[in-house]
């Protein structure tokens, strides 16, 4: 891989999920190095070689677990610059939705639809958004619809947030009542608490690991007071 990069310089070498080979060394070696440690050592040597040879190769890597990377890998001259990429904000989600909606058949205005779906999906990643669009298409196909309507998108978002509907799980009347009381508590708290996120939907249909769920529309906010945190947790 590194030899190919040198041959095709100038170029960019991208290593995805670098934690698979760059994980911290344990320091416990019995009769030799593990394959993972040997791979990491060779990676360090190759990156140092790029620095000395001026090979015009930029090495980039991505990981969700920067905390497990070996410190030697993060030294100056190697991966010395870290860029945190958070989940997209509402504008970013709308842009991603527009990309995926291009390939879907719907009678809805795609610009307006992308904005509405972005507002309904706080915290979603690009992969989550792609999953919503794919699920919406599958739901519309199962319902024998010629195009994808708003209802299909709403159901797709529910599936991504709360999981598949468990139709085989039948609750007893007493259990349904208990779940209804619980979810109603979320609704009442959301109505009376000033800083609670706006409540969008409450359901007692079992989905995923839960027997019911409440769907909220949290604001794009980054700092919270003590009172806001307390009410949002209610």
Neighbour count for residue 35 (Cβ, 10 Å) = 9
d(CA 124, CA 222): 16
Residue 183 catalytic?
yes
Task: Identify the residue whose tokens are 């609670």.
Answer: 196
122's torsion region: left (phi>0), alpha (psi -120 to 50) or beta? Answer: beta
Give the DSSP H or E segment for 62.
Answer: strand 57-62
Beta bridge partners of 54: none
DSSP 8-state symbol, 122: T
φ/ψ (deg, to 5) at 177: -65, -45
Tell me which of 37, 183, 220, 231 is the catalytic residue: 183
CA distances to 7, 91, 163 from 2, in Å: 9, 38, 42
Give the DSSP H or E segment for 168.
Answer: none
Give the DSSP H or E segment for 44.
Answer: helix 35-53
Give the DSSP H or E segment for 90.
Answer: helix 90-101
Catalytic residues: 183
């Amino acid at each position: 891989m590194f030899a190919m990069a040198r041959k095709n310089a100038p170029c960019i070498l991208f290593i995805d999920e670098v934690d698979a080979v760059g994980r911290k060394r344990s320091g416990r070696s019995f009769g030799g190095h593990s394959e993972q440690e040997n791979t990491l050592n060779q990676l360090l040597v190759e990156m140092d070689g790029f620095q000395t040879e001026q090979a015009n190769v930029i090495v980039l890597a991505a990981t969700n677990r920067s905390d497990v990377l070996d410190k030697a890998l993060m030294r100056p001259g190697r991966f010395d610059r870290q860029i945190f990429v958070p989940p997209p904000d509402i504008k970013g989600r709308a842009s991603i939705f527009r990309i995926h909606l291009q390939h879907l058949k719907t009678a809805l205005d795609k610009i307006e639809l992308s904005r509405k779906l972005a507002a309904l999906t706080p915290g979603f990643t690009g992969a989550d958004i792609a999953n919503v669009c794919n699920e919406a298409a599958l739901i519309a196909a199962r319902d024998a619809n010629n195009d994808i309507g708003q209802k299909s998108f709403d159901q797709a978002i529910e599936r991504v947030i709360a999981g598949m509907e468990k139709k085989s799980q039948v609750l007893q009347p007493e259990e349904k009542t208990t779940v209804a009381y619980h979810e109603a508590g979320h609704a009442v708290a959301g109505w009376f608490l000033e800083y609670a996120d706006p409540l969008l939907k409450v359901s007692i249909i079992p989905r995923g690991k839960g027997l019911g769920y409440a769907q909220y529309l949290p604001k794009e906010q980054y700092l919270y007071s003590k009172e806001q945190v307390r009410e949002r947790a209610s």
